[in-house]
Structure 1
Amino acid sequence: MFFSVIIPTYNRRPILAKALLALENQNWEAQYEVIVVDDGSTDDTLAWLTAHRPQLSHVTWVQQHHQGPAAARNLGVAQAQGDTIVFIDSDLVVTPVFLRSHGEKLQAAYAKLGHQKCFTYGRVVNTANFEEPTSEPFKITDRSRAFFATGNVAIAKSWLELAGGFDADFQFYGWEDLELGVRLKSMGLILIPCPSAVGYHWHPPFELKHIPSLIDKEIQRAKMGVLFYQKHPTWEVRLMIQMTWLHRVLWAVLSLGGQLNEHTLAPLMQRLIDRGQSQWAWEISRIFLNQYNVRAVYAAYQEWRLASQR
């Protein structure tokens, strides 16, 4: 089994450095490569990669103009020499047994099933600890119900090629991996959980100054969610993208009709941040962030319907 680890990145040099050094420290004797696809970064990502080439014996890199993660992953797959693709994000730091865990679980599944129509899905732990990201414990909020998400997944390259790869129409934040997952599921692929393949997803500690960019991200995600629904107009997708009356009622109630928002909740969130409880502040922010998302989903949906009627 020859792994090709594909990592799209955009302006994440500090945490990317940790991610790549962790991948150089793998307890895996088989052949593997790491392909970084720089999606038009404007920081010093490429300069850092060039300067640290001697420390990155498994790493190669390619660059594209900023087109989003879907196009970046497709480019990485096209460059891959391996028969098995591992997708991780550029802010994910893995443990030394990461590749071994995916490899052994895949081989065991192939032997048990008698075919290779499956993929492994590892565990992702969210952390704000930059110095020691792998020290973060697994939390209930880290559980994922996604069928196929590119934060930590290993799959035979042939299945990606048969599915047609990622849809490059998804140029903004969100849904390109789950959309591919819908197609993979329709092809009969089976998800094999691989909890021992752990990746620690780093994000900076939550601060109030992050709120405008988080709101913008929710609006982007909503627009891509409606694109997802255009391609797969099913109830399952409506649930995924929160385009149901249940979600409208849920977040309207939880936000007290919008009265609990980024302004009214700011004093409480700041007190939690000051006490070193930024994770709780982040959880509270999800009340109004989800409300923004649901509103943006319906706005994008109405815009699409009006455009399609012209």
Structure 2
Amino acid sequence: MALVSVLIPAYNARQTIAETLRTVQQQTYGDLEIIVVDDGSTDDTADIVSQFGRQDPRILLIRQSNAGVAVARNTALASSKGSLIAPLDADDLWHPYKIERQVANLRKAPVDVGFDYCWFVDVDADSIITRCYASRFEGDIYHPLVLGNFIGNSSVPLIRRALLEQIGGWDPRLRAADAQGCEDWLLYLQIAERARAVLSPAFLVGYRQLPRAMSRNVRQMTRSYELTMSYARTSRPTAPQGLFAQSRRDFDIYISGMRHATGGANAIHQTLAAMARGSQKGQPRFNSLSDMARRLLRTPRRGRHLDASVSRHGRPFGVVDPDEQCPICNLSG
């Protein structure tokens, strides 16, 4: 079996780190090392991780002064030994089969495949599912990635170590430029320059959505997006300019939704509706955030009764079959 290194950066994660670690411990794939980098927390995150480590020798705690998520992940990478790397944020969740399925998928993939990604769901503070996300891109995914980070978050991929080392890990320069937020998106573009991707089509990750999340900082996220797209234009100058124009339109609508998030569900619905309309007005027909918006706005046909037992929404992440169909989102594994 290939050793898989799980890299967890943690900053003031006392409310979620225990649940996150438990989902790693429950993986059906056993050949794991679990490296948690406490990035200068001021709460008792490190103490909680230490308690887990006393019971599970696979868990290693590293403490450092606060340096940002990219540096924390690179610290973990430098201390790891696995040939496959599985990043995980300190508030996200994994289905028990997550690593097993992705390792099996990579094992049978061609040698030019650098990583596997899966589908994910949003979860709230109580680990209740609120939304589902799925894409079907495989192979050369560079152009779809310019349109939007459909991989979704840092807890999704399983990456070949050699590829990460070739890239140099996560780029800390975004934080240095006061532009945190798109470190993962930038990394995925760098990977897509060099390797192909495969998909494990199941909802194997619970992506925690909290008001304090980095992605809620509009100014930082905008600056981070602009620097990431500047890199993409430079690294792939032959890419159609329409990709970047569509990407910017979708990103601006996404940011507009963040700014109006205090307006509640109605404001979010209006933002998604605007995204859906935008992709129907003669703009290039790319599978982008606009397509995601149309999907999220789908509602069951009038008069159709939805049995809660067959919907992910409103159910705890840990009890839902990752291959189960979701009639609300019309997505399935």
* Superposition TM-score, scaled by structure 1 size: 0.69
1:25 equivalent in alignment to 2:21: no
CA displacement at 1:180 relative to structure 2: 1.9
Match of 2:156? Answer: 152
1:283 counterpart letter in structure 2: I
Aligned partner of residue 41 in structure 1, secondary structure? coil
Which of 262, 268, 287 in structure 2 is aligned with 1:283? 268
Match of 2:308? Answer: none
8 Å Cα contact 1:147/1:191 also seen in 2: no
Which whole-Å CA distance do the structure 2 matches of 1:10 and 1:286 have between them?
A: 31
Q: Which runs of 5+ in 1 are unaligned?
A: 270-279, 291-310
Percentage of matched positions with identical amino acids: 22
1:123 equivalent in alignment to 2:119: yes
Which whole-Å CA distance do the structure 2 matches of 1:82 and 1:251 have between them?
A: 36
1:176 equivalent in alignment to 2:179: no
Match of 2:171? Answer: 167
1:93 equivalent in alignment to 2:93: yes
Does the C-alpha gap of structure 1 residues 238 and 62 become closer, same or farther in structure 2, counting only changes over 3 Å? farther
Match of 1:49? Answer: 49
Which whole-Å CA distance do the structure 1 matches of 2:244 and 2:169 have between them?
A: 19
1:7 counterpart letter in structure 2: I
CA displacement at 1:154 relative to structure 2: 0.6
1:191 equivalent in alignment to 2:194: no
8 Å Cα contact 1:101/1:197 also seen in 2: no
CA displacement at 1:196 relative to structure 2: 3.3
Aligned partner of residue 232 in structure 1, secondary structure? helix
8 Å Cα contact 2:218/2:259 also seen in 1: no
CA displacement at 1:215 relative to structure 2: 9.1
1:155 counterpart letter in structure 2: I
CA displacement at 1:239 relative to structure 2: 4.7
Superposed CA RMSD: 3.3
CA displacement at 1:232 relative to structure 2: 3.5
Aligned partner of residue 9 in structure 2, secondary structure? strand
Query: Across the two proteins, how many residue pairs are aligned to each other?
Result: 249
8 Å Cα contact 2:13/2:45 also seen in 1: yes
CA displacement at 1:54 relative to structure 2: 3.0
More helix by share: 1
> Which deviates more from structure 2 when the two are superposed, residues 44-53 or residues 17-26?
44-53
Partner deviation per Cα, 1:227-281 (whole Å, 9 max, x = no partner): 22443336445654x2x5x866x689x89xxxx975xx86x63xxxxxxxxxx36
- Structural mapping, 1:149-298, within 5 Å: 149-171=153-175, 172-187=179-194, 189-196=195-202, 198-204=204-210, 217-233=217-233, 235=241, 236=243, 239-240=246-247, 242=248, 262=260, 269=264, 280=265, 283-284=268-269
1:123 counterpart letter in structure 2: W
Aligned partner of residue 61 in structure 2, secondary structure? strand
8 Å Cα contact 2:114/2:163 also seen in 1: no
CA displacement at 1:51 relative to structure 2: 2.8
CA displacement at 1:105 relative to structure 2: 1.0
CA displacement at 1:71 relative to structure 2: 1.2
